[in-house]
Amino acid sequence: MNKYCEQWDLNPLKLPQHIGIVMDGNGRWATKKHLPRIAGHRKGVERVQEITEFCGNIGIQALTLFAFSDENWRRPEEEVGGIMGLLRWYIRKEHARIKENNVQFRVIGDRRKLSVDIIELIENLEHDTRFNTGMHLCIALSYGARGEILRAVRKLVEKVNQKEIYPNDIDENIFEECLDTQGLPQLDMFIRTSGEIRVSNFLLWQLAYAELFFSESLWPDFDTKKLVDLIQQFTLRERRFGMTSEQIKKINQKSF
């Protein structure tokens, strides 16, 4: 029994495999405290460290964090610059820890829009953690799900043009291999903080059968205890995938 699961009263057999989080509410957190918005983003990074460490400890296989959307480039230059500065600081500071904790690091999204030095920091960390076998930590940066799907379509069209595959070969597995999340376990838990009930162009394909959770907490206030509460709720949900409750109960009995 994993000691962290025991400590937090979580059933290790019922944990989600892959959690995706829209970390929203940094700006409102700062404004409420009469601080500049960047102070909220700074506090948000601390939560990233806490939540990442916790998920790794309890044995979550993949954690995808929405840090900066493709649409967020539209924010004031000063805020975008501040967030990029925090990103540099985070990767530099966490590089060794992520590597030593056996975490596999990956960035998803359209990284061509990021500055060259940030791309280099990301690529170095991805490279240095490529043989790690622990949790996948996936940061969505300059990410939009529609853009990701279009990139996948372009890759497939290219494969068809090169006669590597025929159009009829294209099934869900082949499509998923062309997404930025290829190789990650199926997303089964989605969380958005800050009380907003929307998906904001996050993992649209991958969300197909995820369980959705919306927290009223602003991201800088979203601590381990709040995540544990939601994971406990997740473990109580019956995931039916189109089947009946009776069918699911039989399947569960057989697997024990």
Computed on alpha carbons and rounded to an integer, the radius of gyration of the chain in Å comes to 19
- Nearer Cβ to Mg ion (54/68): 68
Query: Is 24 a catalytic site residue?
Result: yes
Instruction: Please state, in angstroms and rounded to a whole number, the distance separating the CA atoms of residues 195 and 215.
Output: 6
- Does 114 participate in binding ligand IPE (rule CB under 6 A)? no
Q: Which residues contact 88 (CB under 8 A, 6 or more apart)?
A: 117, 118, 121
The amino acid at 249: K
Q: Which residues contact 106 (CB under 8 A, 6 or more apart)?
A: 126, 136, 137, 138, 139
- Nearer Cβ to Mg ion (24/188): 24
- Does 22 participate in binding ligand IPE (rule CB under 6 A)? yes
- Nearer Cβ to ligand IPE (58/191): 191
* Total residues at interface with ligand IPE (CB under 6 A): 17
Q: Which of 2, 11, 24, 169 is catalytic?
A: 24
- Does 37 participate in binding Mg ion (rule CB under 5 A)? no
Stretch that binds ligand IPE, among 8-16, 19-27, 131-139, 181-189 (CB under 6 A): 19-27
Q: Which of 52, 61, 69, 206 binds ligand IPE (CB under 6 A)?
A: 69
Task: Tell the smallest beta-carbon distance from residue 37 to ligand IPE (Å).
Answer: 6
Query: Is 173 a catalytic site residue?
Result: no
Neighbours of 84 (CB within 10 A): 16
- Does 24 participate in binding Mg ion (rule CB under 5 A)? yes
- Does 220 participate in binding ligand IPE (rule CB under 6 A)? no
Site for ligand IPE in 172-211 (CB under 6 A): 194, 196, 198, 200
Contact 137, 98 (CB under 8 A): yes
Q: Is 221 exposed, middle or buried (0-12, 13-18, 19+ CB in 10 A)?
A: middle
Instruction: Please state, in angstroms and rounded to a whole number, the distance separating the CA atoms of residues 253 and 247.
Output: 10
Site for Mg ion in 58-117 (CB under 5 A): none
- Nearer Cβ to ligand IPE (179/191): 191
Q: Which of 4, 53, 59, 72 binds ligand IPE (CB under 6 A)?
A: 72
Q: In 3D, which of 228, 204, 206, 205 has the Cα closest to residue 215?
A: 228
Q: What share of the chain is helix, strand, coil (3-state, %, to 5)?
A: 55, 15, 35
Contacted entry of ligand IPE, Mg ion, none for residue 83, CB cut-off 5 to 8 Å set by kind: ligand IPE
Contacted entry of ligand IPE, Mg ion, none for residue 186, CB cut-off 5 to 8 Å set by kind: none
Q: Which of 72, 101, 110, 221 is catalytic?
A: 72
Contact 98, 125 (CB under 8 A): yes
Contact 226, 204 (CB under 8 A): no
Interface contacts to Mg ion, rule CB under 5 A? 24
Catalytic center residues: 24, 72
Interface contacts to ligand IPE, rule CB under 6 A? 22-28, 66-69, 72, 83, 194, 196, 198, 200
